[in-house]
Structure 1
Amino acid sequence: MDVMDAIYTRKSYRNTFKPDHIPDADLKEILKAGVAAPSGCNQQTTCFIAVNDQKMVYNLAAIYGASWALTAPAAILLLTKETISYKGNSYHIHDYSAAAENVLLAIHAKGYSTTWIEGQIEGEKAKKMGDVLGVPEDLTVVIYMPLGIPDKENPGVTKKPFEDRAWLNGYRKEF
């Protein structure tokens, strides 16, 4: 799939999945896309775990708490560690955000669907997910993506018009 096609056609999916197994090779290629993301000051603060063991996938979905996620045959989780680098700044949020977009596009290019779940797993849920996966204390689970082949049609959402969000040579200056 062409990268521009992937960008324009990818949609967040929050519905049931078909039970089809996701091959290890597909998961590995998806994670390679995440690893290829840019990283602030080359700190490479994002780590990835792909899960297709059905018991683990189910346990992660149960922690998240949405019934549709329980149908996912696989999941991808992004982990981070706040690392201070250039001038006392940390770029870990930037790093995992860029990595997440690469992962989302790779998932879509492979014919699967998912959504980026972050805020709903902060704190105790993130800790419990980390415990299921054996994540060390110095890393935090920040993103959970249940994935698979969608079981339902996904119309997506309506985006605001381009002209309302993007301009040339100044605020509200049209192309």
Structure 2
Amino acid sequence: MRIKEVIVVEGKDDTVAIKRAVEADTIETNGSAIGKSVMAQIALAQSRRGVIILTDPDYPGERIRRIISQQIPECKHAFLPKKQAISKNKDDLGVENASPDAIREALSNVKQEMMQYVEVIEWQDLHAAGLIAGAKAKRMREKLGEQLHIGYANGKQLHKRLQTFQITKEEFSLALQRILEEE
């Protein structure tokens, strides 16, 4: 599988994992303090070939994703569920721990940011679905992120991602239905 876009990852081990899964070029941020030269490389890659951001499913990974997205519009995003990015001894979470199949799956479900935000799913819809408050809210958001391939997010981030990736009410409802059927 050859990927046209340049994949932005956090480090060298992530690049190795990507290259085991697909043919692709990568840019490494080397952590969340992304330097100007790295940001310039990402901007150039976005203008020439497009960019897919594939960072670790943890706070620093989400911070890197947010920093790049704010400065470089219309990036594509691939998300790995935490359970597919955790090391065998469960002490490390990252892209480098994911299997080639998990990486290919994440890259086959890429989402693209849209410049215009369309309010498709209301905040009240998230409350009604039990995604904002309650004992099961966090687990439900985690499952929804997996179903929609948009990664785990807290309530506020989930609302923004649903809009950013223009998830329709129909997609949202179908994903919730599948989650409820699993339980």
Q: TM-score, normalised by structure 2?
A: 0.28
Q: Which has the higher contact order (CA 8 A, sep 6+)?
A: 1
Q: Could you say which structure has the higher strand fraction? A: 1
Q: Could you say which structure has the higher helix fraction? A: 2
